[in-house]
Amino acid sequence: MNTNNKNSTPNTTVTRDVRSLDVATENVYESIVVISKRANQISATIKEELNNKLQEFASSNDNLEEVFENREQIEISKYYERMPKPTLLSTQEFLEDKIYHRTVTEE
């Protein structure tokens, strides 16, 4: 996932017309399931990315006396806090038809 290409996604909550969510699936509840599953994927990716970046700052001999605030760590954390939330990203992707989803049918 490229975290630099999120300019079209708002950082705040957006009021949406619920009827626009069921266009792709013909069922608003199914659409919400698709959006939530994608949000979980995005969240896991972002969390892994953040943990990898913060791992660079991990010390092998951490104790209370040696723990200090690292300016770079703080900047990285602030960057991730300012990013749009995974639900907003997944909703935007869904509305732009960028999420592949399929319905399993029983025969």
Q: Which residues of 89-100 are buried (b: 16+ CB within 10 A; e: fewer)?
A: bbbbbbbeeebe
Residue 60 lies inside a defined structural domain of this protein = no
Looking at the structure of the chain, the number of domains it has is 1
- Residue 11 exposure: Cα atoms within 13 Å on the Cβ side: 6
Q: What is the pLDDT of residue 15?
A: 85
Residue 105 lies inside a defined structural domain of this protein = no
| pTM across the whole model | 0.77
Residue 79 lies inside a defined structural domain of this protein = yes
- The rounded distance, in Å, linking the Cα atoms of 95 and 93 is 6
Residues of the chain above pLDDT 70, percent: 81
- The rounded distance, in Å, linking the Cα atoms of 90 and 95 is 9
- Is the model more confident about 9 or about 26? 26
Residue 38 lies inside a defined structural domain of this protein = yes
Residue-wise pLDDT tens digits, 25-71:
889 999 999 999 999 999 999 999 999 988 887 765 555 544 556 77
Q: What is the mean pLDDT of residues 65-83?
A: 78
Residue 72 lies inside a defined structural domain of this protein = yes
Residue 7 lies inside a defined structural domain of this protein = no
- The rounded distance, in Å, linking the Cα atoms of 14 and 81 is 18
Residue 37 lies inside a defined structural domain of this protein = yes
Give residue 51's domain range: 18-55+66-95
Tokens representing 25 are 């699936």
Residue 47 lies inside a defined structural domain of this protein = yes
